[in-house]
Amino acid sequence: MPTQIRLLQLNNVQLVGRLTRDPELRFTTSGQPVCRFDLAVNRRYKDKAGEWKDDTSFVPVVVWREAGQRCGEKLKKGSPVYVEGRLKSRNWETKDGQKRSGHEVDALRVQFLEKAETAVGSPAADEDIPAADADSGVSAAPVTEDVPF
Residue 85 lies in a domain: yes
Question: Is residue 139 included in any domain, yes or no?
Answer: no
For residue 102, being part of any structural domain is answered with yes
Q: Give how many domains the chain has, as a whole number.
A: 1
**Residues of the domain holding 64:** 13-130
Single out the residue of 141, 140, 109 nearest to residue 127, CA to CA. Answer: 109
Percent of the chain with pLDDT over 90: 67
The count of residues in the chain is: 149
Check residue 1 and give its pLDDT.
Answer: 62
Return the CATH number at 73. Answer: 2.40.50.140
8 within some domain: no
123 versus 63: which is more confidently predicted?
A: 63
Single pTM value for the model: 0.71
d(CA 109, CA 121): 26
The stretch 94-122 carries a mean pLDDT of: 81
Model confidence band, residue 140 (pLDDT cutoffs 50, 70, 90): very low
67: helix, strand or coil: helix
- Assigned domain for 26 exists: yes
Considering the domain boundaries, does residue 135 fall inside one?
no
Q: Using the 8-state DSSP alphabet, how is residue 79 labeled?
A: -
For residue 128, the model assigns a pLDDT of 61
